[in-house]
Amino acid sequence: MPQVLAAFLQEAREKIEQHLPEYIEGLNAPTVLKEAMTYSLKAGGKRLRPILVLATLKSYGKPLSLGYQAAAAIEMIHTYSLVHDDLPAMDDDDLRRGKPTNHKVYGEAMAILAGDGLLTYSFQLLASANMLSTDMKLELIRRISQAAGPAGMVGGQVKDMLGEGRELDAEQLQQIHHHKTGELLSVSVEAGAIIAAVPEKEKIALREFGKQLGIAFQIKDDILDVEGDVRELGKPVGSDEVNNKSTYPKLLGLAGAKEKLLSHIAEAKKCLYKTSMDHTLLIELTDYIGTRTK
Amino acid sequence: MPQVLAAFLQEAREKIEQHLPEYIEGLNAPTVLKEAMTYSLKAGGKRLRPILVLATLKSYGKPLSLGYQAAAAIEMIHTYSLVHDDLPAMDDDDLRRGKPTNHKVYGEAMAILAGDGLLTYSFQLLASANMLSTDMKLELIRRISQAAGPAGMVGGQVKDMLGEGRELDAEQLQQIHHHKTGELLSVSVEAGAIIAAVPEKEKIALREFGKQLGIAFQIKDDILDVEGDVRELGKPVGSDEVNNKSTYPKLLGLAGAKEKLLSHIAEAKKCLYKTSMDHTLLIELTDYIGTRTK
């Protein structure tokens, strides 16, 4: 990993890990609810969405601290979606990232409420981000709620459910992924751009960057499930095959999927060159997403 | 029912029933998701929360149309909470207001997602209320997310769950109800006040009015479960007794509960007299809540 990127990721992750639980601790809410919310927030993962918020800010020369609330809010929305997705009525998963899922620890009722709590609180956090202007906060809420709601992530979950067990083509697969995961990734970049107060034209380019990055991220995920290293990934490989899931390697072949990955990585970078930012960091991050081994 | 109130309720309900499904129809989301969201929104109920938003606006001489989005957003939040509350992992209810609950019609997974969709969309709707100023929209989002979130309604659900099967005193019961239902009722009145741009002092009085009204509403609910008319209520009476629920009549006796009801109705009215509004409508509505037979 290039040094600029490595240094940035370390700084960004430290700030994210520090602030996420802090925002919950201060809440005047039942202890067990705060515990359940924090449990899944702390379960970690790549923190890709908050990193994209902060990386975009950094690329426009703005202080990272302006983006902490937006980064945390988006990570809370991502986390709530995983908590609800793991429920017995949905994917019925007992483990996530090697740890028992929320409902396995706190019970189903509490997991539903912890998800509801994270989602609702994310908007309170956005509305209370004191270092941002009223207009910025409102634009963040408008765009994030759209990306996360029925026309975005929630709609994508529904499409994914409806597509299960059916033969999908590459176009349909991409549509589902775009709504289910791509829109929240894309709005993470856009959130950084909103806070950096960039012109509308650049926001459009960055929205497209986020879209391309999201597709690339998913293709790489599918490829790693075929040829990744179990020890590096920390999860079993070949599970898509076992679960008979529609994936890019299955639809396009492994070579075809790799080619598609490269083309979306290239498209993503092109979008960055249309902006006035210092591209170094996001170019490195994009390349890293295409070449990561975990 | 007094004529002023009756005429207002009819007008307000018509507008609410018209706009609620309209806001969903326009969404670019999977059809079945929109159906599931609309199903529970249309299942009706008293529409008390949106009525409070619009009644407050009316009392300050403002056009009702300014409050349609806020009224709908709060009703969507109320509805999502019922959909999730009815789930097998929560209260496991098959019927609500005589109709099959959401998960009975659409399945558990879709009911969870319909709830998530309603909650997320409510904030998008608030953020897009074009007739309101940016400051107003942000204040609405901040206050409503607080009232609905971990420190409000979601926290109240958790407290209610923790209190099940335990002996509660009247103070604890009131605390649970205040968080579980009172805060959203209270913020409905406050939302009307925010949109009417009333001074902070009046908002505080109206928040207290909403709190007192919420307590009165719950006491009356408990009383009706003891001595209400099955045909008028449209639901069985005596169910609290059967379910061994903590209620005001149980803790204070029926006479004690009625006395407490009257005192909260009186307190609620006192708050209205501290404001500059035309009180007629909200006084009538308050009296109606204390004397309703269904």
According to the model, what pLDDT value does residue B2 have?
A: 84
Indicate whether B241 pLDDT > 80. no
Residue-wise pLDDT tens digits, A91-101: 999 998 889 99
A121 to chain B, minimum CA–CA distance in Å?
6
Minimum-distance CB partner of A27 among B84, B88, B151: B151
Least CB–CB distance from B123: residue in A103, A123, A151? A123
- pLDDT score at A98: 85
ipTM of the complex: 0.96
CA distances from A84 to A113, A123, A178, A218, B280 (A): 9, 18, 19, 20, 45
Closest CA to A168 of A244, A255, A91: A244
In angstroms, the CA A228 to CA A215 distance is 18
Instruction: Quickly name the fold that domain A3-291 has.
Output: Farnesyl Diphosphate Synthase (1.10.600)
- Asked if the Cβ–Cβ distance from B123 to A121 is below 8 Å, we say no
Contact A34 B116 (CB under 8 A): no
B235 or A47, which is more confident: A47
Read off the pLDDT band of B158 (50, 70, 90). Answer: very high
B116–A151 C-beta distance less than 8 A: no
Residue B117 to residue A154, Cβ atoms within 8 A = yes
Q: To probe the interface with A, which of B76, B78, B124 has the most A CB atoms within 10 Å?
A: B124
For residue B28, pLDDT over 90 is answered with yes
Q: Average of pLDDT values for A183-201?
A: 97
**Could you give the CA distance from residue A143 to residue A126 in angstroms, rounded to a whole number?**
12
Find, in chain B, the residue whose alpha carbon is nearest to that of A122.
B145
Q: How far is B261 from chain A (nearest CA, A)?
A: 27
B84: chain A residues, CB-CB within 8 Å: 112-113, 116
d(CA A22, CA A38): 9
Q: How far is A137 from chain B (nearest CA, A)?
A: 8
pLDDT for the residue numbered A186: 97
pLDDT band for B120, please (50, 70, 90 cuts). Answer: very high
| Interface contact flag, B34 A162, Cβ < 8 Å | no
pLDDT at B44 over 80: no
Q: Residue B25 — φ and ψ, nearest 5°?
A: -50, -40
Chain-chain contact of A151 with B119 (C-beta, under 8 angstroms): no
CA–CA separation, B103 vs A55, rounded Å?
41
Q: What is the mean pLDDT of residues A70-82?
A: 98
B117 to A150: CB separation less than 8 angstroms, yes or no: yes
Determine the residue of chain B that is closest to A30 in CA distance: B155
CA-based nearest distance A140→chain B, Å: 9
User: pLDDT-derived band of residue B230, with 50, 70 and 90 as boundaries?
Assistant: confident
pLDDT at B165 over 90: no
Query: What pLDDT is attached to residue A4?
Result: 87
State how far residue A279 is from chain B, nearest Cα, in angstroms.
31
pLDDT at A171: 92
> Which of A90, A109, A138 lies at the smallest CB-CB distance from B138?
A138
pLDDT digits (tens, 9 = 90+) for A122-133: 999 999 999 999
The answer to whether the Cβ–Cβ distance between B138 and A134 falls below 8 Å is yes
Residues of chain B with C-beta less than 8 angstroms from the C-beta of A78: none
Cβ distance of B154 and A113 shorter than 8 Å: yes
| CA-based nearest distance B123→chain A, Å | 6
Interface residue of B158, B178, B194 to substitute, partner A, most A CBs within 10 Å: B158
Mean pLDDT for the stretch of residues B48-71: 98
pLDDT digits (tens, 9 = 90+) for A228-254: 877 777 677 777 777 778 899 999 999
